[in-house]
Amino acid sequence: MTEKHDMKKLVEEIYAVRDRGDIEGTLALIGDDCTFRMVGNTRLKPLTTEAGGHAFRQAITQLITMWDLSNVKTAGIYVDEDEHMVFAHREGEVRHIPSGVSFYTEFVDKIHFKDGKPVKIVEFVDTLQVAETTKMIQIA
């Protein structure tokens, strides 16, 4: 197996486990030293604040318990072996579990690897849609 194949396979497995709502299974695949951040304006903290350590675990737990991604499919996975990085394009129907609000969206994850494990996940999503859906902000 190549490093490219291994990174792609691990990302596919992470998504499959995450989409089933398995928090512990997802965290076991990612590793202890990973960080997570949604890209967006700093006014949308805590959404856009990088989370590591215990805060990483909390962020992943909150994402899985609040957002149903079971109807989201991976449209493409692109691996940059030289940079040890994966870009995953995902799209589909997302449901905010507490409110029951569903909407179609697309997003991209940029996942940095070190020693075969993700060490940094940067997610490019429609942060305005997320902030409105979670009532973090209200647009009149």
Strands (E), 14-96: 35-38, 51-52, 67-80, 85-96
pTM of the predicted structure, to 2 decimals:
0.93
Residue 36: its pLDDT value, please? 97
Please write the tens of the pLDDT for every residue from 56-99: 999 999 999 999 999 999 999 999 999 999 999 999 999 999 99
| DSSP summary character for residue 33 | T
Please write the tens of the pLDDT for every residue from 25-46: 999 999 889 999 999 988 888 8
Is residue 1 predicted with pLDDT exceeding 70? no
Is residue 140 predicted with pLDDT exceeding 70? no
Name the residue with tokens 């997570």. Answer: 36
Dist CA 123 CA 108 (whole Å): 6
